[in-house]
Amino acid sequence: MHSLVAKRYNIPVHSITLFILGGIAQITEEPKKPRIEFMVALAGPLMSITLGLIFGILWLALPLHAEIAIAVSFWLAWINLLLGVFNLIPGFPMDGGRILRSLIWWRTKNLDRATYAASKVGQGIGLIFMIGGVSIIFSGMIFNGIWISIIGWFIFNAATSSYQQLSFQQILEGHKVKEVMFTGTRSVAPEMSVDELVNDHIFTSGQRFFSVTDQGKLKGLVTLQDVKALPRKEWAKTSVGQIMTPLDKLQTVGPHDELVTAFRVLTQQNINQLPVVSDGYLVGMIARDNLLAFISLQESRA
């Protein structure tokens, strides 16, 4: 439901991850207004509570002889109601935390301040859950205590990482890709054998990835993981071009793109390096480690 409302407001949704407490929609951009944040965040719990009420009414309306349907309706009603109420807990980045952030944002007109406040509340709620879980463990209900502690740990870490990610994006605002990219990456030809790549380039340079170029034009990227996926006996008769990730399947950025764009691509795609391309030519690379080092340097200067 979050994703549908987000798309209604033209907010891109990268993926949806399902887990035992529901699902997390990975939204690639922050909402532009607190009202939009409020509507997107409220959609999930509202849908769960609505489903709970529908199954509750069905449970009451079913004839007594429909025992299986009554049991299913009863449990679906309670599960959805509890899930809806749980997600309203004001622990950012849960739905309740995002609702809280939208209200603080609306009041203060400052997204950074609102995110900081909502994250601290989320961390506090996470700690309360963890402490409560430990207390329950010592009272003898070990399974329940462990479960509550895990939920608390999840909330605490999610709140911490969410604010950290927003802080990183704000640090990178105004900076360009060309400030961080490095140009010392070795290139290899697509017709080179994998055996030659390993012996003459990987072993001698220690580099874990190589751009694959033909007359200066970028054709793809080959990594150590690509080599490991190929059986050793196939190295001599397999070309780099056969195992590389071709350009049309690569995520790339330009040297004049915003650095925050590169950060989002690296984190959302869970990749470690990003080619910097201009007019089809490779002009540099951005690695996750270099970007984090740049962020650390900017923080030390603040």
pLDDT one-digit tens code per residue, 236-253: 999 999 999 998 888 889
Structural domains of the chain, ranges and CATH numbers in brackets: 2-172 (no CATH), 177-301 (3.10.580.10)
Please report the sign of the dihedral spanned by the C-alpha atoms of residue 105, residue 107, residue 110, residue 112.
Answer: negative
Of 190, 183, 180, 240, the C-alpha closest to 217 is 190
Instruction: For residue 296, name the pLDDT band (cuts at 50, 70, 90).
Output: confident
- Compute the distance between CA of residue 128 and CA of residue 138 in angstroms, rounded to an integer: 16
Give the pLDDT confidence score for residue 87 in this predicted structure: 85
Helix, strand or coil for residue 175? coil
Confidence label for 159 from pLDDT (cuts 50, 70 and 90): confident
Is the confidence at residue 158, as pLDDT, over 60? yes
Q: Is 2 within 8 Å of 40 (Cβ atoms)?
A: yes
Q: Which of 84, 73, 78, 82 is nearest to 2 (CA)?
A: 84
In terms of average pLDDT, the best of 2-16, 157-171, 182-196 is 182-196
Check whether 255 has a pLDDT greater than 70. yes
Question: Strands (DSSP E) along the chain, which ranges?
Answer: 13-19, 22-27, 187-188, 209-214, 217-223, 245-246, 273-278, 281-287
CA gap 256, 258 in Å, rounded: 7
Higher per-residue pLDDT: 217 or 238: 238
Dump pLDDT digits (tens) for 58-82. Answer: 999 988 888 899 999 999 999 999 9
Q: How far is CA 57 from CA 61, 80, 86, 98, 247, in A?
A: 6, 13, 21, 30, 55
Q: Report yes or no: 98 and 88 within 8 Å, Cβ to Cβ.
A: no
> Parallel, antiparallel, or unpaired for β 187-188 and 209-214?
parallel
Q: What's residue 100's pLDDT?
A: 93
What is the percent of the chain with per-residue pLDDT over 90, rounded to a whole number?
A: 34
Answer whether 80's CB lies under 8 Å from 118's CB. Answer: no
Please give the average per-residue pLDDT across 131-139, as a whole number: 93
Q: Which of 33-42, 130-139, 223-232 has the lowest mean pLDDT?
A: 33-42
| Rounded-to-integer distance, Cα 38 and Cα 97, Å | 10
Beta-carbon contacts of 117 under 8 Å, excluding residues fewer than 6 positions away, are 100, 101, 104
Q: Which residues pair with 218 in a beta bridge?
A: 213
The pLDDT assigned to 205 comes to 81
**Model confidence at 16: pLDDT above 90:** no
Global pTM exceeds 0.85: no
DSSP string, 196-231: HHIIIIIHHH--SEEEEEETTEEEEEEEHHHHHTS-
The verdict on whether omega for the bond into residue 93 sits within 30 degrees of 0, i.e. cis, is: yes
